[in-house]
Structure 1
Amino acid sequence: MVARRRRADRDDEAQAQADRREVRVRYRRAVRVSRTALVTGAAGGLGRAIVARLTEDGHRVVTLDLAGDCDIVADLRDEVPDLDGIDVDICISNAAVVDTIAPAHAMSGEQWSRDIDVNLTGAFRAVQACLPGMLDRGWGRIVVVASAAAQLGLAGQVAYSASKAGLLGMVKTLAVEGVGRGITANAVLPGLIATPKVLGMPDAVLERVIDELPMRRAAEPAEVASLVGYLATEQAAYITGQDVRIDGGLGLQHATLGSTR
């Protein structure tokens, strides 16, 4: 009786190991599924990192920006991009302006509209261009690059913060509409990223900002791109409607009243 039980236990364990191997095999195969991705804001520091990550993952990447040697040159403030028959499976909305600086009481209507038009309306137009094909094919990944400012606010950048917060509501609605249709929608909320524009800030300003971060450094563009890339995979099928912060602990209370030893 004991011997039979031991054999049964060994058989069960062998089957469990075989099942785990099969899961790993399916996972590796799924990782390499090649899709077509659209990346907006592709000429910027983060955009280039996202393009590199998706290309490394085996996807065909269509780039879009206002200028540069991108596949599509378009101003998303004014037009829905013409995809010209391209079947986009993965839509990465990354185009944004970040340099509108003014306190709320002094911000002009033009400054407000610029941030909203580029960061929010432009993102919607990019997604809207991709949705019909995703719905027809029953598969899609939408990843919108928002900002930690959407949840924390940012002094002097009320329009930027509002535009990024609007993206979170848009993503939630896209996620609800995509459930059961093979389409997920998520937002990535970076903190400070070490892009050329950020690294070009005056040293004193950059040092002051970094001193406020628990990790005492900015994120590398590749780190943010890695998260974006994962949310575009088959394995991320159960993640939708989420606001995922990648900010080095920004906003955490890291003061202490005693020793940390």
Structure 2
Amino acid sequence: MAAEPTSTDTSQDFQPRTVLVTGGNRGIGRSIAEAYRAQGHNVCVTYRSGEAPEGFFAVRADVTDSESVDRAFKEIQSEFGPVEILVANAGMTKDTLLLRMKEQDFTEVVDTNLTGAFRVVQRAAKGFMRKKFGRVVLISSVVGLYGSPGQINYSASKAGLVGIARSLTRELGARNVTANVVAPGFIDTDMTDVLPEETQAKYLDTIPAHRFGTPEDVARVVRWLTSDEAAYISGAVIPVDGGLGMGH
């Protein structure tokens, strides 16, 4: 089942890693998984609903369920060994203004986006400790730093990922483990495709690059952050937003 390096990799000492992308069956997650596969890594994805993506070792899992997460990691380990690169991408939204937001709307989003990331990071850390190697990228959002009306739950969950990355860096940094956050802005996905043209134009006016990002824009940054070239970067927040957040 091990993947062969493709012609995109020119290194003579390329070492395939076991990569897990949660929520890797569509959108940004799918592009991230494809970027690693193109480089020749052993790529695994989790998905909660829909169809398993072809060409990947796919495991149905729910990041809100610790037992489900544990089963997924055991399946992956039996096939490829411990997860070495973890991209925590699985997430959800339940947008509404504060005064209309139900407490359940808040807790469900936080449980998926933030506590779900904690669950997979904690499980992956066991393998990191044994191998003395690990790379974690948490997929946040410009909204986690910039804020957005109607997204208090989502903003809170995405902001919390920064704390996970920086605390993990302090705990396991000496074990050759890095943890970083990627914060995409408006990315051209199914979610933005359904927006009315007037709304899309309004959003574009706020982006200095004057275009939506692509899932591939995000995927390339994620892959680089887990490469040897970025081995001395940890606890960082990297925006992929065309200048929208200006680092905030």
Distance 2:41 2:227 in 1: 10
Report which stretch shifted further, 72-81 or 113-122: 72-81
Amino acid at match of 1:74: A
Q: How does 1:160-199 map to 2 (within 5 A)?
A: 160-199=154-193
Question: Which one of the candidate residues 137, 142, 147 is aligned to 1:148?
Answer: 142
Distance 1:210 1:73 in 2: 36
Alignment RMSD: 1.4
Distance 2:63 2:245 in 1: 32
Question: Are 1:69 and 2:52 an aligned pair?
Answer: yes
Paired residue for 2:231? 237
Amino acid at match of 1:222: E
Cα 1:175–1:130 change in 2 (3 A) is: same
Distance 2:201 2:187 in 1: 13
Distance 2:245 2:86 in 1: 29
Q: Which has the larger radius of gyration?
A: 1
TM-superposed deviation, 1:55: 0.6
TM-superposed deviation, 1:171: 0.7
Question: Which one of the candidate residues 20, 38, 55 is aligned to 1:56?
Answer: 38
Distance 1:250 1:223 in 2: 15
Question: Are 1:33 and 2:15 an aligned pair?
Answer: yes
Q: Give me the identity figure in percent.
A: 35
The runs of 4+ residues in structure 1 deviating greater than 4 Å are: none
Gaps of 5+ in 2: 1-9
Question: Which one of the candidate residues 132, 156, 175 is aligned to 2:126?
Answer: 132
| Structure-2-length-normalised TM-score | 0.87
Deviations 1:105-141 (Å, cap 9, x if unpaired)?
2210111011101100111111111110111000010
Cα 1:200–1:229 change in 2 (3 A) is: same
Deviations 1:189-218 (Å, cap 9, x if unpaired)?
110011122112222212211121111111
The SS at the match of 2:21 is strand
Deviations 1:115-169 (Å, cap 9, x if unpaired)?
1011001111111111101110000100000011111111110000000001110
Amino acid at match of 1:56: A
Gaps of 5+ in 1: 1-26, 253-261
TM-superposed deviation, 1:44: 2.1
